[in-house]
Amino acid sequence: MPAEQPAAAKTDTLPKVQSTNATSNAEVTDRCSSTSDVAVQKQLRSPYTDLLCNPLKPKIISFHNVSAAAYRIKESVMRTPCTLSHISEIAGMEIYFKKEYLQYTGSFKERGVSYTLLMLPEDKRRRGVITASARNHALALSYQGSKMDIPVTVVMPSNSPIMIVQQCKVYGAQVVIRGDNLSEAKDYAMALVSQRNLTYINGHDHPDIIAGHGTVGLEIVEQVDDVDAIIVPIGGGGLIAGTVVAVKAMRPEITVIGVEPERCPCFTEALKAGRPVYTDISTSLADGLAVPSVGVNAFATSAKLVDKVVKVSEEMIAIAILRLVEMEKAIVEGAGAAGLAAILAGLLPELKGKRVVVPLCGGNIDTTVLGRCLERGLAVDGRLVKFSVTVSDRPGGISDLTRFVSDIGVSMKDIIHERAWLKRDVFSVQVKVVAETRDREHAVLLEKLLRERYEQVTFNMAAD
Ligand SMILES: Cc1ncc(COP(=O)(O)O)c(C=O)c1O
């Protein structure tokens, strides 16, 4: 059954927000701030509510909804491969990756978006849709909307990644930069809903979004025989809700495990409280999962079906991103790598020897963030270390150190030397080095040999 759309609440007139297709971010932000008149402020104090995501009347999505979605979206969304990974060997279990990062806009979000847009009646399609999102949902809505000739407005907070803002514009969406965070952007989007008679599409809790996302679960069961467990990252809960409904209806014996960052545990907190609750979150490498409250429909649909939820550290997310690059040749964002992070962190020992499917849900990672993740991952692995050594300032002092280090098979990445700050001895120089080792044992050996040879050594290696 298609989810019924609420009528827009009657509100005051908002100033017109300019289309941003041909403008820069700075221009867009300026224009929006200049619209901060009484009407906008009034609306932002009593924002329109999304009646499809009503805490008093949560909707439970059924297997029928997910299978209807699978039928409707088969032409518009890719059936991604689900293949055995080399990482199986180091993890001690048979790991299959469902490669959702291969979708056109780089994430599974196109599934729910495509189904939701296809289910909209003609008049709503003509008027257009709106959402607040800084990431994958914004991209998916912009792209699928343009394919179906549906006008799309995306309200994005000012800290949204530039790459995503630009890409939404390339897909033809009207981008409005508004608010310092997603919640402020959403309030503004809600105000525009009433002003322009648009349809708001919640990225993790609209019932058709959840049904569409559930097609990931249907495909996994079709693609891999005898699956023991599926590990699903949780942000607002739409993906796990659709997936668990599909999987448990077809194969109730499959274990479905949710993963969220330690810094954003909104599903864990909702389970404790018995309902979605506002949760304090902090920034995470898995920014797609940084949602302060799980969706009401998502929670009502999945809370009783999900077998277990675990929380992963930032270090393990970085390691998972690194392993995926090195061993799977896959560029996956933090949110998409969270399932693997849970396995590598040893949080799921009961899955040893089992057949486990991990959706790699998205690949939209900023290149600078990717670089930092890889370095962080190498450091946590003990493969990137930092040390400083005080050596003689006489000719040969520094070259002696570099030769010594290279003889151990360690590669220097950065080296600087300082004289001015050494108080004790004007004939010494302090050399600071960042170096790459084979593994943690190699780093431990390096530290031991440096300490045997030099009197003053400080050595930094990330803890296990
Ligand atoms: C790459 C990626 N994985 C997983 C999720 C979690 O999905 P949900 O918010 O439906 O729980 C998101 C959410 O944005 C995401 O972008």
pLDDT per position as a tens digit, 301-326: 999 999 999 999 999 999 999 999 99
Based on the domain organization, do 200 and 287 belong to the same domain? Answer: yes
Residue finishing a domain among 350, 381, 412: 381
pLDDT at 393: 83
> Best substitution site from 80, 97, 102, 108 to test ligand 1's pocket, by max atoms within 8 Å of Cβ?
108
| Distance between Cα 190 and ligand 1 center (Å) | 22
Cβ of 236 below 6 Å from ligand 1: yes
Based on the domain organization, do 387 and 374 belong to the same domain? Answer: no
Cβ of 199 below 6 Å from ligand 1: no
Based on the domain organization, do 196 and 124 belong to the same domain? Answer: yes
Cβ–Cβ contacts within 10 Å for residue 76, how many?
Answer: 17
| Distance between Cα 234 and ligand 1 center (Å) | 6
**CB environment 269-300: b (16+ within 10 A), e (fewer):** bbbeeebbeebebeebbbbbbbbbbbbbbbbb
Q: Are 177 and 29 in contact (CB under 8 A)?
A: yes
Contacts of 108 (CB under 8 A, 6+ apart): 100, 136, 213, 216, 239, 359, 361, 362
Residue 444 maps to which CATH number?
Answer: 3.30.70.260
| Distance between Cα 289 and ligand 1 center (Å) | 6
Cβ of 261 below 6 Å from ligand 1: no
Q: How far is residue 22 from each of residues 84, 105, 131, 298, measured CA to CA in Å?
A: 44, 21, 20, 37
Residue finishing a domain among 335, 366, 381: 381
Closest-CA residue, ligand 1 atom 16, reads 288
Based on the domain organization, do 63 and 188 belong to the same domain? Answer: yes
Q: How far is residue 263 from each of residues 10, 147, 229, 325, 378, measured CA to CA in Å?
A: 38, 36, 24, 24, 21
Q: Using CA atoms, how far apart are residues 171 and 424, in angstroms rounded to an integer?
A: 63
Q: Which two tokens stand for residue 261?
A: 């960052």
Q: Using CA atoms, how far apart are residues 132 and 127, in angstroms rounded to an integer?
A: 17
| Distance between Cα 293 and ligand 1 center (Å) | 13
| Distance between Cα 292 and ligand 1 center (Å) | 13
Based on the domain organization, do 454 and 375 belong to the same domain? Answer: no
Q: Using CA atoms, how far apart are residues 437 and 386, in angstroms rounded to an integer?
A: 11
Cβ of 335 below 6 Å from ligand 1: yes
Residue 17 maps to which CATH number?
Answer: 3.40.50.1100
Based on the domain organization, do 427 and 281 belong to the same domain? Answer: no
pLDDT at 47: 53
Residue finishing a domain among 381, 409, 424: 381
Based on the domain organization, do 33 and 139 belong to the same domain? Answer: yes
Sheet containing 457-460: order of strands: 411-418, 428-436, 384-392, 457-460
Based on the domain organization, do 144 and 214 belong to the same domain? Answer: yes
pLDDT at 60: 98
Q: Using CA atoms, how far apart are residues 340 and 336, in angstroms rounded to an integer?
A: 9
Closest-CA residue, ligand 1 atom 1, reads 362
pLDDT at 395: 86
Based on the domain organization, do 426 and 292 belong to the same domain? Answer: no
3-state secondary structure of 93: coil
Q: Using CA atoms, how far apart are residues 427 and 393, in angstroms rounded to an integer?
A: 5
Low-confidence ranges of the chain (pLDDT < 70): 1-48, 420-424, 463-464
| Distance between Cα 213 and ligand 1 center (Å) | 10
Cβ of 339 below 6 Å from ligand 1: no
Which residue, 430, 461, 431, is CA-closest to 448?
461
Handedness of CA 391, 397, 398, 403 (dihedral sign): negative
- 435: containing domain: 383-460
Based on the domain organization, do 393 and 366 belong to the same domain? Answer: no
Closest-CA residue, ligand 1 atom 14, reads 288
Closest-CA residue, ligand 1 atom 6, reads 235
> Best substitution site from 361, 365, 366, 370 to test ligand 1's pocket, by max atoms within 8 Å of Cβ?
361
Cβ of 237 below 6 Å from ligand 1: yes
Cβ of 362 below 6 Å from ligand 1: yes
> Best substitution site from 103, 109, 164, 260 to test ligand 1's pocket, by max atoms within 8 Å of Cβ?
109
pLDDT at 49: 79
- Number of domains, the chain: 2
Q: How far is residue 256 from each of residues 130, 307, 420, measured CA to CA in Å?
A: 32, 6, 59
Cβ of 182 below 6 Å from ligand 1: no
Q: Are 4 and 34 in contact (CB under 8 A)?
A: no
Based on the domain organization, do 425 and 326 belong to the same domain? Answer: no
Based on the domain organization, do 446 and 373 belong to the same domain? Answer: no
Closest-CA residue, ligand 1 atom 12, reads 288
